[in-house]
Amino acid sequence: MPYDRDRDLKPVTIVARVPEVMVLNPKRVEATTLKEVLALVRATPGKYTFGSTGNGSPVHLVLERIKQLAKVEILHIPYRGAVVALGDLVAGQIDMSAADAPGVIAHIQSGALRAVAMTDTVRLPALPDVPTFAEAGLPGVELVNWYVLMAPGAIPAPLLARIHAAMMAVLDDPGLKARLGAQGLTVTSSTPEAAQAFVTAETKKWGDVARAADVKLD
């Protein structure tokens, strides 16, 4: 990146979390649970395909994490973006993928795709029947797309405190939480210090996964 994140940016608060949902094309994969999917994959290594939104993308990292923890082989098919990957999944060109919850809720509800697990630590109100990976039997696959409000790194402390207080009032609005929750986003908030610790921990965790899998960006 053309900047130093830790020097040039100062976290104000975490704003929202959006999990990835592992979804299957039900016509190509005869499984209804994550355990059944993993059993099929183990029985036929390399047969099943998993589309991602590109090498090094969050969806690719979810796949690598699944492969590392479950000790399975799934063929990675990198796409250039979510729209094409999701389109091919619905059309039956690939077997499975993971996608931001807001992008697949309608497909899951219509039956075009089947959800087997999601990557947050709690279930989404918009998808109450979809278990977390831990609940589905594979703990450790916790990856959320997170939104953190950032300020310039040199922002004066009093101004940072004012912006933080204003954001707390916004994020505490029940109406906002309900509207975004229906779309698959979980509104959250934090202190600036907690937001910084979270960003640092996420960077290390998924950097380690990428290095272990020798992930290369396009």
* pLDDT at residue 215 tops 80: no
The answer as to whether 196 is a domain residue is: no
The DSSP bridge pattern shows strands 96-100 and 49-52 to be parallel
Per-residue pLDDT, averaged over 46-51, amounts to: 94
> Mean of the pLDDT values across residues 163-192?
94
184 located within any domain: no
Q: Is residue 92 part of a domain?
A: yes
pLDDT-based confidence at residue 56 (cuts at 50, 70, 90): confident
pLDDT at residue 207 greater than cutoff 70: yes
Closest CA to 14 of 167, 166, 195: 195
Q: Tell whether 183 is covered by a domain.
A: no
pTM, full prediction: 0.83
Question: Is residue 35 domain-resident?
Answer: yes
Say if 167 falls within a structural domain: no
* Local confidence band at 218 (pLDDT 50, 70, 90 cut-offs): low
Query: Is 145:124 a contact under the CB 8 Å cutoff?
Result: no
Q: What is the pLDDT of residue 132?
A: 97
Residue 30: pLDDT above 70? yes
User: What pLDDT, in 10s, does the model give residues 74-132?
Assistant: 999 999 888 999 999 999 999 999 999 999 999 999 999 999 999 999 999 889 999 99
Average pLDDT, the chain: 93
Q: How far apart are CA 184 and CA 100, in angstroms?
A: 8
**Number of structural domains, the chain?**
1
Domain that holds residue 97: 21-118
Alpha carbon distance 56, 4 (integer Å): 20
CB atoms within 10 A of CB 32: 12
CATH assignment of the domain containing 41: 3.40.190.10
Could you give the 3-state DSSP secondary structure of residue 118? strand
Is residue 147 in some structural domain?
no
Report pLDDT for 214: 83
Q: What is the mean pLDDT of residues 152-181?
A: 96
Please indicate, yes or no, if residue 59 is contained in any of the structural domains: yes
110 neighbors 26 (Cβ within 8 angstroms): no
Read off the pLDDT of each residue in 191-205 and give the average, rounded to a whole number.
93
